[in-house]
Every structure is written in C-alpha cells, then in structure tokens.
C-alpha cells in the first residue's frame, strides 16, 4: 500500500528513543525524510544515522530541549535551513511524573506544562506556515490514556496530557481550512525504555525480574494482557500521517489494548 509519504519531511521530537525512534523508522521506510530532535545531540545523531543507513533517506539530528522557547526556535530554524520547512510534525517528547498535588512544587508543574503543552503550541505555531505553503501537512500529538483515565501517582502528567488533547482539538479546528490535519493519540501500555528502567529498579534485589513486573502490570490493566511494542504503535502514527488517512482530523485516537474503561 502506497501511503503517499515519499519525500515528505517529518519532524519528530523525542525521536532518539522508544516510540519516537520507532516512528522515525516507520516514516523513513515509506520514503520520508526525518528530523530527529532530542536533548542529547549524540543520541539524536546516533538515531539519525541508523535511520538514514537502514532506509536510504535524508535525516537531520538536532540537539534541543523543546521544553524551552529557545529549543523550539532552534528546531524550526534548523529544519527550515535543511529542508525548507516540514510536512509532518510529531510532538512526541514527554515523560511521566511521580508526585502528589499537595507536595509538588510550582516549578515541577511548570516544567511539565512547558514540555507537554507549550512545546506543542510553539512547534505547531512555528511549522504551520511552511505546511500551508507546501499545500498541507499533518501534526500528531502523542498524548496518553492518562488524559482521560488518570493514574493516581502522576497528577501533573495526567493534567498536562489532558491539556495537550484539548490543544490538539483547537489547533485542528484552526488549521483544517489550510489542509493541515491535526490529531492526538492516547496510548496505553507501551514497552518503552523508561518502562524497562523503572521495572528494573523496582525489582532489583527481589526474586522477580523486570519482565515479571511488566507482565503483572499488563495483567492488571490491559485486557489484551501485554504491552504494545514501540513499533506496533508507530504503525498507527505512520498511517495517520499518510494520505490514506485524509478524512481523519480533529480526533483523539485510543491505542491501548482495551485499557480504557469507558466509552469515548
């Protein structure tokens, strides 16, 4: 199936690892050129080199912190210099939190707001003009099932991801007349390096392995009884970027193995 992505330019934040890296490979496999943004430039460069070698496409590594206005401006500028703009933006950068509302300080709330919400605002605003000039584009927001079904131990993550979903809907309404499609994706349990790291730490010195811990989480929360792989969810991102999803706009899609406990 031709997804119509050949020679499109895709910008992926948090693109050096996990879901972002899998999306980079998925888009490159369809002939897209890929800009990989990450805080650590070495990791971005390593991922970009791997993608370019495996798929024979052009890549660009940008070491920036998109939680800052300066980082977003740099990413837009370097992409524009290298490719003249972008056709696809994947706002993927993010991380979980761990706190209570009574104990979390203002600066922690501000950091997650900047990372999950303002990065999407700044990059959407910054890349939209070039998408419009190129005849249209796609913006996807990697949100979370926690935007609607919160976990008790990360209220900041829950709140900022919910705000990201609302922003996504508003941006979609604004850009629909310009042929720029905006959607959000609420993922469930996905086996990212962060999950492996956490599971390893929590089982250290016990008779359980990190895989046992992961399986226990899946058994408790996901009717499908397993985590998704990054590549598995990346396939959905790639489809939504394609011309085959031309009528998909202004929506939040759940890719969660049945984890959502209500009708949405």
The pLDDT score that the predictor gives to residue 242 is 98
CATH 3.40.50.720 fits 9-190+230-255, yes or no: yes
Contact between 141 and 95 (Cβ < 8 Å): no
The predicted structure's pLDDT at residue 1: 77
Domain boundaries, the chain: 9-190+230-255, 191-227
Q: Is 153 a catalytic residue?
A: no
CB proximity list for 114: less than 8 A, separation 6 or greater:
67, 68
Residue with tokens 């031309």: 246
User: Which residue has better confidence, 46 or 1?
Assistant: 46
Residue 238 has a pLDDT of 98
Q: Of 157, 213, 253, 254, which one is the catalytic site residue? A: 157
pLDDT digits (tens, 9 = 90+) for 51-107: 999 999 999 999 999 999 999 999 999 999 999 999 999 999 999 999 999 999 999
Residues 6+ apart with CB under 8 A from 201: none
pLDDT for 86: 98
pLDDT at 264 over 90: no
Nearest residue to 41 via CA among 80, 84, 74? 74
Distance CA 22, CA 212 (A): 24
Residue 94's pLDDT is 96
- Evaluate whether 168 touches 179 at the Cβ level (below 8 Å): no
Q: 51 is written with which tokens?
A: 């993608």
- pLDDT (mean) for 232-239: 98
206-229, pLDDT tens digit by residue? 999 999 999 999 999 999 999 999
Helix boundaries (H) for the chain: 18-29, 41-55, 69-83, 106-113, 119-133, 155-175, 193-203, 210-221, 230-241
Whole-number Å distance between alpha carbons of 163 and 167: 6
């Amino acid at each position: 199936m031709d997804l119509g992505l050949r020679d499109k330019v895709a910008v992926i934040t948090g693109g050096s690892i996990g879901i972002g890296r899998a999306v980079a490979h998925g888009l490159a496999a369809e002939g897209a050129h890929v800009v990989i943004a990450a805080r650590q430039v070495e990791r971005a460069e390593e991922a970009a080199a791997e993608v370019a070698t495996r798929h024979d496409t052009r890549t660009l590594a940008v070491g920036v912190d998109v939680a800052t206005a300066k980082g977003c401006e740099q990413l837009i500028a370097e992409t524009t210099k290298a490719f003249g703009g972008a056709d696809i933006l994947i706002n993927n950068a993010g991380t979980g939190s761990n706190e209570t509302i009574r104990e979390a300080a203002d600066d922690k709330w501000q950091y997650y707001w900047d990372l999950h919400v303002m990065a999407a605002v700044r990059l959407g605003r910054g890349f939209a003009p070039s998408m419009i000039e190129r005849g249209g584009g796609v913006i996807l927001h990697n949100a979370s099932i926690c935007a609607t079904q919160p976990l008790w131990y990360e209220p900041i993550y829950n709140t900022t991801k919910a705000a990201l979903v609302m922003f996504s809907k508003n941006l979609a309404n604004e850009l629909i007349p310009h042929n720029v499609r905006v959607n959000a994706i609420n993922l469930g349990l996905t086996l990212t390096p962060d999950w492996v790291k956490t599971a390893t730490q929590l089982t250290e010195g016990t008779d359980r392995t990190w895989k046992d811990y992961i399986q226990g989480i899946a058994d408790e929360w996901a009717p499908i009884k397993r985590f998704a792989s990054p590549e598995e969810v990346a396939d959905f991102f790639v489809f939504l970027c394609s011309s085959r999803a031309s009528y998909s706009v202004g929506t939040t899609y759940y890719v969660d193995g049945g984890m959502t406990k209500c009708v949405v």
